[in-house]
Chain A
């Protein structure tokens, strides 16, 4: 492999492996906002046309807003949330992560065990008890070729 290509790969890996700085986290807040709004609209069958009417904007302006996921002011976020009937507030990431965890019972070779696990991960691993391992008092779950530590569990 050429040195230049190796350098490119290293630089790409570094971008993704690095913990995000303030700007990247801020982008995350904006992306999460659009994610929640779009998910809520889909779940409650709220159309973009309805949102456009509520905000007094054209349908095209609303589509453009969702397509571009632009940097958005807090006032605009609240206006959009209000228009679809969502009461927007701020919570810390720690609280959000805790709220995302669900208790889940898994069977292992030894005992049934209760674990606390991220909601999205739980959906993925449901029914895949054979992937849970307890070794030396530590619990892991294997997904594909990778193992993840389960930090909160009790028998």
Chain B
């Protein structure tokens, strides 16, 4: 099997939201946007809500509306459009990297095993992003 080629794509931010103070990136595997493709499957209202949250995160210092910057005992944060959809991200200086997406199928919080899996992805993509940003700066 071919090695998975991981890269990152920067999101544009609409002028309405003002001057970005963070660059927001999402994960691309073998040319496919493997995290934000789920955005396209959301209903229109949830999609607009998510786009709004991410755009505000990019242009505001520590934006709390729908965002938890650092989860307890974890090294990453989550964006929560509604209560059952989660986009996970890490912050590196002036970069925000959205690296995972999970959807909750039942009531209650996400299982701790899910957070562990997300953490494994964080480790993997964090390393890849460091390599990517060093190469492209």
Instruction: For the complex formed, measure the closest distance between the CB of A59 and the CB atoms of chain B, giving whole angstroms.
Output: 15
Question: CA A31 – CA B64 in complex, angstroms?
Answer: 8
Known: A5-B33, A9-B9, A17-B12. A148 touches B19 (CB 8 A): yes
Q: Tell me the chain A residues, 1-59 only, with Cβ under 8 Å from chain B.
A: 1-2, 4-6, 8-9, 11-13, 15-21, 23-25, 27-28, 30-35, 38-39
Q: Which of B117-135 contact A (CB under 8 A)?
A: none
CA distance A31 to B52 in the complex (A): 8
Q: Are B12 and A16 in contact (CB under 8 A)?
A: yes
Q: For window 38-58 of chain B, which residues contact chain A by CB distance below 8 Å?
A: 39-40, 44-45, 47-49, 51-56
Given contacts A15-B51, A16-B14, A144-B94, A68 and B64 within 8 Å (CB-CB): no
Tell me which residues across on chain A come within 8 A of B53, comparing CB atoms: 27, 31
Identify the B interface with A (CB < 8 A): 9, 11-16, 18-21, 23, 26, 28, 30-33, 36-37, 39-40, 44-45, 47-49, 51-56, 59-66, 80-83, 94, 137
Known pairs A9-B33, A16-B55 / 6 extra A-B pairs, C-beta < 8 Å: A6-B31, A15-B47, A17-B12, A24-B52, A35-B60, A143-B94
